[in-house]
Structure 1
């Protein structure tokens, strides 16, 4: 039997395709990853700073925490729309312009939030902030696919996830501290400053990473240049026609999810991420109420184990995903099966994610004092690791199978996931109040197991599922 070190059989076409990934030096690639990861941190920071500030915002605007919590759902909805918009247009115009368009909206939304005096203003500017920041994650996944080849992509995607999810670790602490000792408005100004710094980095250091000739605008201009119509040829040669606006349907990326394998992976990832929200969104009403934590700074610090789990879990997940691909491809004598990458999700999805959310319900309900709080924080950490062990290989798999539309498939799955989360998050606190914490968390844990079942079906029957609806799946020569 072939070992992991067995040389893989590669075709000339595959070797030729891999030369595309040598356009940037390793050092330049690291700079690009740092920039897109910083941009992907922004939505995490914006969301992470908002949740611990809910009670302070409610007091400031003379409303209830439940009303302010609707801002979480609205921001998820705005992020979904933004991700689809930026991903669709990034395939046509390129990656770099999307950052140059989105980041100013993030900055404007942050300034608006810092000045909001009504709930309506709060919701509007939170939507703008989320919409502007959303491209960082969806387009960033496409950038990683642009610059790293198949055998390096999983680890690089893990680094991207790990760095971007650093916001999950830091933002709640910063948001809670700011709400307690300064003002939640000052926190929003801080997000504006960070967004401005990222924008300056993009302007000065981020190149266009789309593969040469792959953008929609390149194909359009090439087709017109090849036309026999002299009038069109003259227009194309004019400087002002080198750029033009083309109306695209941002919802078209969701259409990619009609493929069963993509849909199953999207559903599993959505449920997995939902466990994160079930633990964190009601934290003031669960851990805060049980252990008498009213200080927003301390409450925000309780988010840190999840973020730490994200930071450690993402590169681990990426490394495992790459090793699994290399191992199984070697065993098959060089034959590539995309679904092999999903095997890296099974431990996190079947054990860490569901058990952590169920145990949190039990610990909070039955174990008082510092022991109960400690056990909850350990469960938070395990959930953070487990969620990344699912999300990172899933994202890399999607880029693998639809590489030519990598940003779009990421955005389509993020869009569907966000539409699900925007409604599902709004029922978390009412469900806990009506049915209890244990019942709510147990149901979500069972759903997480169902999600793992969908991934297992995809692993076992991936070729059949891809044959049901062909959305232009990649081959080893094109991924």
Structure 2
């Protein structure tokens, strides 16, 4: 133990930490780069699609509202795929999931490229999203496999940050490609990227699951114990079993918070052609795509910062308690962003768009986009690391269950954004979503005299932070201890 370790660490904890030394630091960095690249693909597929919606609507002879349903369809595909790949990653391993999922992404991208009507587009977008969906949930599981508790938040932040490069770059690429070539060539580019990532996984990604923890290993051990020759065969698993983990009230509350926070992102980005585009007379798809960049930049900067803050919160609060680990301490890193940055940025964007014309209004919106991107990641990254901490043995599954529930709500909620803006306006829509985010996360603050403590709609994360131990005691879903996380 070094002088920088201010905690009393048990022999069991030290023994468990040894399993994280299987891979040297250089190989860990390669693994993080690979899983981050895979997690970039769904961001890229979604981000490059949104600025091309008006052109797709014209090309397929339909409306922007109808084409925007492809966003909801892709969210559903991502949710189902995440649950399937996460469940099977706990049985067969992380590596096979990437090697089976990425070809589906390539197939779906070709399908979108070749689509001649809205029905074909929706089916292809579903396949595309399904294939790439394991990048996030399985990737988070990989991070949990190779990094110990006090390093996990920082590593998760780097994973988030690298994967969210797609959020910053893809709208620019999508808008530029649609403007000067065709939206179809953008999809062909995603096919090429998917093929390159698949090749990298095939050549350089090892199996990261902890030895002896995979379902197939346990099955083979059982067969050997019974005197039978172990055989590799297909086993049907229930992908929806990850939902069963969410019977833990603390896990369900954190899932709701992540939905409320992430919905602000979609509310700003999905209708951008009909909000900033119409308000500030921006018709060029390349320029519309460039408007996404400040939010993507906020994501890129926010994720590693959130990881560092979350790890620091865990270390400092353990030190205060004489070495006692309370998982919910990690969530304290998200308090300011959840209560201030996210809701204020989306409501401010609605106000700026509604009341301030010209370059000043557009500039204010871009600043608020950056703040929103920063704030969203300052909440989501600690929440994701918390989920991996508390259910470490099923980390990919809890991430998939969270993504599944969150995506189910998002797929419905996102489909309402464009019609709501057309009917009620951007100010009313953004304010409603901002209030939802405030309700879900504005009460993240500890029990002190703070500005928003009286905003008592939900106090969701505050309840989780303060009463986490009690909530975990209500329903035991197989929570991790300090010796097993």
- Per the TM superposition, whether the score is higher than 0.5 is yes
- The bucket for the TM-score relative to the shorter chain is over 0.9
What pairs with 1:412-451 in structure 2 (closer than 5 Å)?
A: 412-451=401-440
1 CA distance for matches of 2:343 and 2:172? 25
Counterpart of 1:393 in structure 2 is: 382
How does the TM-score come out when normalised to structure 2?
Answer: 0.95
Structure 1 range deviating more: 246-255 or 434-443: 434-443
Partner of 2:312: 323
Determine the C-alpha separation between the residues in 1 that align with 2:257 and 2:408: 14
Structure 2 residues not aligned, in runs of 5+: 442-458
Distance in 2 (alpha carbons) for counterparts of 1:235 and 1:148: 35
In structure 2, the partner of 1:274 is 263
Q: Who is 1:249 aligned against?
A: 238
Deviations 1:242-269 (A, max 9, x none): x111100000001111110000000000
Residue by residue over 1:412-445, the C-alpha shift from the partner in whole angstroms, topping out at 9 and shown as x without a partner, is: 0000000010000000111122222212111111
Q: Distance in 2 between matches of 1:281 and 1:7?
A: 46
- Which runs of 5 or more structure 1 residues have no equivalent in the other structure? 228-232
Following the alignment from structure 2 to structure 1, what is the Cα–Cα distance between the partners of residues 5 and 242? 38
| Distance in 1, Cα, partners of 2:183 & 2:389 | 41
The one of 461, 464, 472 aligned to 1:466: 472
Following superposition of structure 1 onto structure 2, how do residues 30-179 of structure 1 map, counting pairs within 5 Å?
30-179=29-178
Q: Which has the higher helix share?
A: 1
The residue number in structure 2 matching 1:185 is 184
| Root-mean-square deviation (Å) | 0.9
Distance 1:168 1:17 in 2: 36
- Report how far residue 234 of structure 1 moved: 3.5
1:456 match: 462
CA distance in structure 2 between the aligned counterparts of 1:64 and 1:328, rounded to whole angstroms = 53
Deviations 1:75-99 (A, max 9, x none): 0000000000000000000000000
- Does structure 2 conserve the Cα–Cα contact (< 8 Å) formed by 1:6 and 1:330? no
- Work out the CA distance in 2 between the residues paired with 1:413 and 1:31: 27
Give the superposition deviation at 1:127.
0.4
Q: Distance in 2 between matches of 1:194 and 1:302?
A: 23
1:261–1:465 CA contact under 8 A, matched in 2 = yes
Supply the distance in 1 between the matched residues of 2:422 and 2:243 (Cα, whole angstroms): 34
How far 1:309 sits from its partner (Å)?
0.2
- The DSSP-based 3-state class of the residue aligned with 2:162 is helix
- Give the corresponding residue for 1:235: 229
Give me the whole-angstrom Cα distance separating, in 1, the residues matched to 2:134 and 2:387.
17
| Equivalent residues of 1:61, 1:117 under 8 A apart | yes
SS at match of 1:461: helix
Q: Which of 291, 297, 300 is the equivalent residue of 1:308?
A: 297
Q: How does 1:215-230 map to 2 (within 5 A)?
A: 215-227=214-226
TM-score for both structures, normalised by structure 1:
0.96
Residue 453 of structure 2: aligned partner: none
1:404 paired with 2:393, answer yes
The aligned counterpart of 1:230 is none
Q: Distance in 2 between matches of 1:171 and 1:468?
A: 43
Report the counterpart of residue 208 of structure 1 in structure 2.
207
SS of 1:235's partner is coil
